[in-house]
Structure 1
Amino acid sequence: MDLIDHIQKHVIEKLQKGLSEKLTYHNVAHTLDVLKQAVVIAKKEGITDAEDLLLLKVSVLYHDTGFLCSYHEHEESSCVVAKEELPAFGFTSSQVERVCGMIRATKVPQDPKNHLEQIICDADLDYLGRADFFEIGNNLYKEFMEQGIVTNFREWNMLQIRFLEKHRYFTESSIKRRQKVKADYLQAIRETEGLLS
């Protein structure tokens, strides 16, 4: 088992044991989906450096571990977990800082400072321009209802409209692959709510 497999096994087991079942979106399936998309985007973006790829994958695996202890500001909690655990896997303090930079970049509104941070941001919200948009979105709606962030489906739709209007993909490959479909979903939700543009 190589290093990334070892880390993945450790983090996924930790999430499976510790995450609340009420997290219908921020769960193991989400982490694994973001990992898969990050690898795809990195390849399309021409990332070939072994260390960059390793740190990107590690950042994805840790990016939502903060949900184990807090719902709000979970990115900072995720950084705490990464800082506690990664040195034992042989990571230097500068590598851990790069990981935390990527984790922090995923905080909404996203503000990536470099190419790897752009990739993790696009991977984290890749579903916005995919065929499973409504299925995954419904999981987030359930989670937001549970958290009291929204209280009904109309509120959810209005929140989605505001979010989709502000959201942007950062990498050329994600813009090319996801932007058009995302715009179509935004239009569809506007029409559902009688907000024709």
Structure 2
Amino acid sequence: MDCQRAEAYVLDQLHQHLSPTLYYHGLHHTRDVVAQAESLAQAVGITDPEQLTLLRTAAFYHDAGFLTVYQGHEAAGCELARIVLPEFDYTPAQVDTICELIMATKVPQSPGDSPLAQVLCDADLDYLGRPDFWPISNSLRDELLARNLVADEASWQRLQLSFLTQHQYWTPAAVARRESEKQARVAEVQALVTGFE
């Protein structure tokens, strides 16, 4: 696997071709997910070099489907991975694993018992329990507003409350790092929703 070239390829594509109105799902989000995936993998004891490379590649490609579609971007990202990654010496089995990881991030997340998928899912939504929750969530609101997927602030906060209360972290490391702060955000969003009623 020539992961460096595979990563450089997708970073170049994201840099050049992502919509400027992907305020949340921009290149910054991909870079954040890669960093969080590496940190969580270390925390949960994943040390096998091939497994770590597959996780890292999946993190780089997990939102690459936004290059072509908005809804169903996970499947589109897998299509891109299946076309591109063999050129970088990924085997069919390795590409299958990467696609399984990407598809696990589709909301509602479904990582099953796969430690790699659990790590990627937790990395993808790490911000839910972080101090920078509000600016990041506001960027997602703006992205959805730009696509007429939410009508106004009240409907956005209701959607956000529903999402937060249904979300779960999958790895013990993410629970330990993020769950208590996420619960604080739930309370804050609940207060906002109550204020709209």
TM-score above 0.5: yes
Letter in 1 for 2:42: K
Separation (CA, whole Å) in 2 of partners of 1:3 and 1:75: 22
> 2:123 is matched with which residue?
123
Normalising to structure 2: TM-score of the pair?
0.96
> 2:150 is matched with which residue?
150
Letter in 1 for 2:185: Y
Separation (CA, whole Å) in 2 of partners of 1:72 and 1:193: 26
Number of corresponding residues: 194
| CA displacement 1:109-149 (0-9 Å, x = unmatched) | 00002110000000000000001000100110000001111
Alignment of 1:23-102 (within 5 A): 23-102=22-101
* Offset at residue 5 of structure 1 (A): 2.8
Structure 1 runs not aligned, ≥5 long: none
Normalising to structure 1: TM-score of the pair?
0.96
- Say which SS state the counterpart of residue 194 (structure 1) adopts: helix
- Say which SS state the counterpart of residue 107 (structure 2) adopts: coil
| CA displacement 1:43-71 (0-9 Å, x = unmatched) | 00000000000000000111111011110
Asked if 1:172 corresponds to 2:176, the answer is: no
Letter in 2 for 1:50: P
| CA displacement 1:59-115 (0-9 Å, x = unmatched) | 011111101111001100000000000001101101000000000000000000211
Structure 2 runs not aligned, ≥5 long: none
Letter in 2 for 1:194: T
> 2:194 is matched with which residue?
194
* Offset at residue 187 of structure 1 (A): 0.3
Separation (CA, whole Å) in 2 of partners of 1:137 and 1:187: 15
> 2:184 is matched with which residue?
184
Q: Calculate percent identity across the aligned residue pairs.
A: 40
| CA displacement 1:130-173 (0-9 Å, x = unmatched) | 01000100110000001111011111100000000100000000
- Say which SS state the counterpart of residue 80 (structure 2) adopts: helix
- Say which SS state the counterpart of residue 96 (structure 2) adopts: helix
* Offset at residue 194 of structure 1 (A): 2.0
- Say which SS state the counterpart of residue 168 (structure 1) adopts: coil
> 2:106 is matched with which residue?
107
> 1:162 is matched with which residue?
162
Separation (CA, whole Å) in 2 of partners of 1:5 and 1:91: 12
